[in-house]
Structure 1
Amino acid sequence: MGSWELAQRWAGALDGVVAPTLTRTQIEEMLAALCTGLIDAARGGDDPDVARQAARMLVAVNYRDPAAVSRSVRVICEDLVVAAADGPADPALPEIRGRAVGLAADFAAGFTAALRSAALAEHEATLAATLAAAREAESRRALSEARFEAVFDGALVGIGTVDMTGRVVNCNAIMAEMLGQTPETMPGRTVADILGPDNLNYAFEQLQLMVAGESDSFRTETEHVRTDGRTTAIDLSMSAVRDTEGSIQFLIGVAVDVTERKQLADRLWHEANHDALTGLPNRPHLFSRLTCAGPPIGVCYLDLDGFKEINDLWGHSVGDRVLRVVADRMREALRPTGALAARIGGDEFLVLIENCSGETQLVDLADELLAALTAPLEMDGHMLAVGVSIGVAFFEELPTDTDELVHAADAAMYRKKNDARRDPAR
């Protein structure tokens, strides 16, 4: 499969997601150019930005629906692997699959960043237009008030004005809906009264500074808990409107509901940092945590014994179910300790304990994990037994090379395995 056929499959996968600004032929031509770079990256090329560039180009031509992400990730993880590999017997196939997963994660991150940039650009344009109309209303009231009202009422973002006593002058319907209010109930009330005590956060503090004349503007992303219990994520900008003499006349706020974008970003982050099968943190997420872990550090390296035999005898679907049970048991055993468990390989897991009290705590925790994970488990009416080998390592200070943590615990585990082979009674 070449880049052109891969582009056609990708374009077909995106059919019906949104009405793009390009024709189908133009989309295929655009994707073909991107696919050439992606295939090269999957084969080990050195372009670190190719997947993010693909995401930015899709957003630029109006692919902004979350479905575009999930369908594109499937193309990258499946069709791209076929295009990059030299057939199913290609010895480089595992490395190509691994690179494809990394490209999919980069694509998802790039898509989220491009969506945010597009939303913020639209936000800035709306704010600039609103402020321009508001300032014109002060100098040419008769004409500009009508324009301001048109922008105010017809905007696709929330707009509200506040006087210098902290009371709402007016707001449009979208602003009121974000706050769980109506446009009729907000004017005349203080911002503190409308928000309620649960929402008097950083954004409210910045508003107070503006009311006191100590600040001219601010911008922040905040969460608002409505009276119906729903939480709305809001991108809020506030600016002071001054008269011709420089005195502040009122404050104007523009708000964008970014709840769906934030939820999408959170979901994409979770998918990129967690193992799809077990739900545990994955290897990249673990190593990211290790770089900023609080010493002393303790790690337990776990390897399942006899897992290959389960796969060979019962099949990989049963093996996958066994891994999920193992992950659930690890979570339950570690819940009181606050330790982090991650899946770092096929049947390999690692547990990170920050602020560890010493090797005694590590050994006790390893014993608890051993007891929890080696208990027999039932699969389709059959009782299966899974053995576990555990190695531990303790560090007073965080090593400069985080690989050292894993290697030390891995080595300890293999020493135990070798000791057990020499002395089966151990």
Structure 2
Amino acid sequence: MDEAVGSWELARRWADALDGVVAPTLNRTQIEEMLAAVCIGLIDAVRGGEDPDIARRAARMLVAVNYRDPAAVSRSVRILAAELVEVAADGPDDPALPRIRDRAIGLAADFAAGFTAALRGASLEEQEQTLAAVLDAAQEADTRRALSEARFEAVFDGALVGIGTVDMTGRVVNCNATMAQMLGQTPETMPGRTVADILGPQNLTFAFEQLQLMVAGESESFRTETEHLHTDGRVTAIDLSMSAVRGTDGGIEFLIGVAVDVTERKQLADQLWHDANHDALTGLPNRPHLFNRLAHARSPIGICYLDLDGFKEINDLWGHAIGDRVLTVVADRMREVARPVDAFAARIGGDEFLVLVENCSGETPLARLADELLAALIEPLEVDGHMLAVGASIGTAYFAELPSEVDELVHAADAAMYRKKNDTRRDPAR
């Protein structure tokens, strides 16, 4: 498909997917024009272009025009992982199709990460603007007290972010309802109590240590993301900024904190990370996640490379739905075998899987793990009323030291697996 035509077609599909998730600042024509411009770069990237930041720029662009709903992320990821492949490939027989799919998955992961970062940036910018307004109002108290107090009260009570003040003894002076709610309190129960008493011993973490430094006059400000454990077991993620407010004599009069509840954003970020790094069918870590893990693995390293035997025949005879169920059962069995030895099982494509053992104690226990995997997988399995059997070929590779190229680990185990598969074909008794 012509690149220009393809970019407009992909932009229309993308705009259709985003329709209704939010109230964007642009109309439909402007949205399509915006998306078409970035789709040219995405199509080029998925075909092997050299623009590593294109997916993250697309994410930042959507956030900038008010696409901030989690649905915008999930729908966009589906567009990049599926529709982009269809538009960029020259039909289902395109020899470059596997590489296009791999690049599209990488772009979708980059988009998800970029969207989360852009969303965080927008939230922090709003937080900084609120903090600046509060500080401006508070610091005018001496010279224009009546007016500034009114302004401060309006900002304080009406803010959608949490605001609280603490004196130099570590006691709360006042707080708004939003701040109290984040901490599981009420605005009436917090003033006069120490911060340590309000938080409880379970929440005296890094943020409290930084507050103590400010109370002692050893620090002017800090900013951090912290978690607050409630008495009912809930955990709230809070982005907290604190600053010292000085009087006309230059001395610190009190400390002011601004907090934003980022629990939903953090959950979204965690979910996006999981989706980008795990196989959608089996839930196992995917190929990009595996290679990242390999790059930081603790040596000695042991690898079991596993390829299913007879899986194509199951797909041809019973259909892909049954084949998918077989893959999920295989993944479950691999988890059960890998869990006791703290091994890392991943699906790296099709019917190929890999198990990584860090701090591997030698080739003998690695071979034992391969035998246990094989024994678990060759057991007959029942899928939707059908009794099926699937075999497996497993190759192992042991490295006392992590090689300079992580591909060497996989290639060595892959080669061992194919040698074993070929030996079995020549001598079925083996």
Could you tell me the TM-score, scaled by structure 1's length? Answer: 0.97
Taking the aligned partners of 1:288 and 1:30, their CA distance within structure 2 comes to 33
CA-to-aligned-CA distance 1:335-378 (integer Å, 9 cap, x gap): 11111001112111111111111112111111111111111101
CA 1:362–1:101: 2 relative to 1, 3 Å:
same
CA-to-aligned-CA distance 1:249-304 (integer Å, 9 cap, x gap): 11100000111111111111111111111110111111111111111111111111
Count residues with an aligned counterpart. 426
Residue 39 of structure 1 pairs with residue 64 of structure 2: no
Provide the residue aligned with 1:122 in structure 2. Answer: 126
Q: 2:307 aligns with which of 303, 306, 320?
A: 303
Taking the aligned partners of 1:174 and 1:70, their CA distance within structure 2 comes to 30
Deviation of 1:101 after TM superposition, in Å, equals 2.0
Deviation of 1:188 after TM superposition, in Å, equals 0.8
Provide the residue aligned with 1:312 in structure 2. Answer: 316
Taking the aligned partners of 2:246 and 2:128, their CA distance within structure 1 comes to 19
Q: 1:52 aligns with which of 56, 75, 82?
A: 56
Residue 269 of structure 1 pairs with residue 268 of structure 2: no
Provide the alpha-carbon RMSD of the alignment. 1.4
Taking the aligned partners of 2:142 and 2:377, their CA distance within structure 1 comes to 72
SS in structure 1 at match of 2:254: strand
* Mapping of residues 271-286 of structure 1, within 5 Å: 271-286=275-290
SS in structure 2 at match of 1:132: helix
Taking the aligned partners of 2:94 and 2:426, their CA distance within structure 1 comes to 39
CA 1:95–1:408: 2 relative to 1, 3 Å:
closer
Q: 1:68 aligns with which of 69, 72, 77?
A: 72
Q: 2:183 aligns with which of 179, 185, 189?
A: 179
Provide the residue aligned with 1:392 in structure 2. Answer: 396
Provide the residue aligned with 1:226 in structure 2. Answer: 230
Provide the residue aligned with 2:240 in structure 1. Answer: 236
Taking the aligned partners of 2:370 and 2:25, their CA distance within structure 1 comes to 57
Provide the residue aligned with 2:81 in structure 1. Answer: 77
Taking the aligned partners of 1:354 and 1:280, their CA distance within structure 2 comes to 17
Taking the aligned partners of 2:294 and 2:80, their CA distance within structure 1 comes to 29
Residue 154 of structure 1 pairs with residue 158 of structure 2: yes
Deviation of 1:74 after TM superposition, in Å, equals 2.0
Q: 1:347 aligns with which of 348, 351, 361?
A: 351
CA 1:412–1:93: 2 relative to 1, 3 Å:
closer
CA 1:88–1:335: 2 relative to 1, 3 Å:
closer
Q: 1:414 aligns with which of 407, 412, 418?
A: 418
Moved more, 3-12 or 393-402: 3-12
SS in structure 2 at match of 1:370: helix
SS in structure 2 at match of 1:319: helix
Give the aligned residue type for 1:254: V
CA 1:418–1:84: 2 relative to 1, 3 Å:
closer
Q: 1:377 aligns with which of 376, 381, 388?
A: 381
Residue 260 of structure 1 pairs with residue 264 of structure 2: yes
Residue 294 of structure 1 pairs with residue 298 of structure 2: yes
Deviation of 1:305 after TM superposition, in Å, equals 1.0
Provide the residue aligned with 1:142 in structure 2. Answer: 146
CA-to-aligned-CA distance 1:147-175 (integer Å, 9 cap, x gap): 11111111111000011111111000000
Taking the aligned partners of 2:353 and 2:208, their CA distance within structure 1 comes to 45
CA-to-aligned-CA distance 1:108-145 (integer Å, 9 cap, x gap): 11111111111111111111111111111244322211
